[in-house]
Structure 1
Amino acid sequence: MTGFEMFWPLVAHVFLVFCLYALLVLRRSQVVRSGKVERIAFRENLAEPEESRVVNRSIANQFELPILFYAVSILLYITQADNLVAVVLAWFFVATRCAHAYVHVFGNRLHLRRPLFGLGFAALFALWVWLVAWMAFS
């Protein structure tokens, strides 16, 4: 590896989070304009309509499992264990997070979300196994 290849998947994931926040603002604005809910409902987080609640929950999902992704990516870089396989696994993890968020926000079909989560989980687990193996045998 020659530079910062391990960090580009992190940047892509951050962009996903920013896009989800933009979608949340858009959807909340739409439900307020349509009269479905008063603006105050968001301050108190009461009775948020499904249109925006699903986006809000998808954002929360991006701060759960991905925290381990950020940690392992940085550790792989620091320990110089960020090889091509690690970078590919990182991109695969981010791709599954993007697909998972898309399915969650645009239809919320659990039969699609579950395997996407599982694939991302497996990629993340493989990144941690690689880090542990690298540290154990270096």
Structure 2
Amino acid sequence: MPISTAIFWPVIAQVALIHLIYFLMLKRRSGAMRAGTAKASDFWVPAIEPEPSATVARSLINQFELPMLFFLVCTLLYVTAGVNHVVVAVAWLFVLSRYAHAWVHVTSNRLRIRQRLFVSGFVLNFSLWLLFAIHLLGI
């Protein structure tokens, strides 16, 4: 596999995480309705959604925030031939941080751990953008 296209494997893994969270949200919402703790109209307004599915819904929203910058920088690095082994390694670390963040979010939801994982993902994402800028400068 050429290193230039290797950047798409972490992208695919991030997209897989988004799909996993969608499935988990569907499972938790269906479970809440079957258990009688929620009705379909409860999901119209997130403020009244049961906590088990509300945390998953919030986790899903998180996957359309910082990861969007990840998708963009990966695409830009590919288009400008800026993909190298360091870039791919940082991309994988970012995705691993997102999986860990999502896991904590939909299980224990411990804010202190979640925050550390978010910050690590943020720094890794910033690093990808910095690597992209350095590539553009030809350094």
**Which band: TM-score by shorter chain?**
over 0.9
Map 1:118-129 → 2, pairs under 5 A: 118-129=119-130
Pairs aligned (count): 138
Shift of 1:44: 4.8
Measure the CA separation in 1 of the matches of 2:41 and 2:126: 41
Give % identity: 43
Number of the residue aligned with 1:69: 70
Q: Is the 8 A contact 2:24 2:56 kept in 1?
A: yes
Map 1:62-101 → 2, pairs under 5 A: 62-101=63-102
Distance change >3 Å, CA 70–CA 42, structure 1 → 2: same
Q: Is there any run of 5+ residues in structure 2 with no aligned partner, and where?
A: none
1:21-75 deviations in whole A, cap 9, x for unaligned? 0000100011111111111222454510001000000000000001100010000
Number of the residue aligned with 1:131: 132
Number of the residue aligned with 1:28: 29
Distance change >3 Å, CA 49–CA 114, structure 1 → 2: same
The one-letter code of the counterpart of 2:29 is: R
Shift of 1:110: 1.0
Any runs of at least 4 consecutive aligned residues in structure 1 with deviations exceeding 2 A, and if so which?
A: 43-46
SS of the equivalent of 1:133 reads: helix
TM-score, normalized by length of structure 2? 0.94
Q: Confirm whether residue 42 of structure 1 aligns to residue 43 of structure 2.
A: yes
Shift of 1:136: 1.1
Q: Is the 8 A contact 2:46 2:54 kept in 1?
A: no
Distance change >3 Å, CA 46–CA 114, structure 1 → 2: closer
Q: Confirm whether residue 116 of structure 1 aligns to residue 117 of structure 2.
A: yes
Measure the CA separation in 2 of the matches of 1:111 and 1:44: 27
TM-score, normalized by length of structure 1? 0.95
Number of the residue aligned with 1:58: 59
Distance change >3 Å, CA 46–CA 100, structure 1 → 2: closer
The one-letter code of the counterpart of 1:28 is: R
Q: Confirm whether residue 4 of structure 1 aligns to residue 5 of structure 2.
A: yes
The one-letter code of the counterpart of 1:75 is: L
